Amino acid sequence: MPHLRPFRPGDDAALAEICLRTADAGADATGILEDDDVWAAVFVLPYAVRHPDLAFVVETDDGRAAGYVVGADDTDAFENWFAAEWWPRHAERWPRPATPPDGATPSRQEGLLTYAYGRRAGAEPFAATYPAHLHIDLLPELQGQGWGRRLIDELAGALRARGVAGLHLATDTRNAGAITFYERLGFRRIPSHADVVAFGMSLG
């Protein structure tokens, strides 16, 4: 029987694999970018480094990590750390993309790297009301079994214990299953960019 447990050192590779296999609006993103490793470097590994105590894993009965939630209790502080300390470690491997010529569409990797280079406190408006944020991913074998709710409940409990007032997240507009899931959990939609659906939840 799968079980939920705290993140442990050594889980990083498994979390990166889960991230990759769910990164394309919930589908497998393998091969979409020129370098598959970008996904995890942006969306899961910095959280495991900065806030390992806010990372929780679903482990299968054969000892594999097959789902996770990671989070930050202070989004603005996390984004400043990401910009000043985390992302510069990767600048040589993934330089800032050049501005595309007029009319040209950047590749998916260029778009993701541009997002990473632009992360900073205040870049997103959600933290003013909902200071914490999360990323959650489950492999298909665990979906629809209540593990997503348990992971978010575990993280929300840890955040409440710290006195955090609210929690937000954003998902791809194409990820209809995730949108329905978050609404069912009690998150409410909040204004967001055209390409994502953002949700907030009070933890008071």
Q: What's the pLDDT tens digit per position in 124-172?
A: 889 999 999 999 999 999 999 999 999 999 999 999 999 999 999 999 9
**Which of 10, 141, 134 minimizes the C-alpha distance to 74?**
134
pLDDT of residue 104: 83
Query: CA–CA separation, 147 vs 155, rounded Å?
Result: 12
d(CA 84, CA 67): 29
Per-residue pLDDT at 103 exceeds 80 = no
Q: How far is C-alpha 88 from the geometric centre of its chain's CA atoms?
A: 19
Q: pLDDT value at position 152?
A: 98
Level-2 CATH architecture, domain 3-202: 3-Layer(aba) Sandwich (3.40)
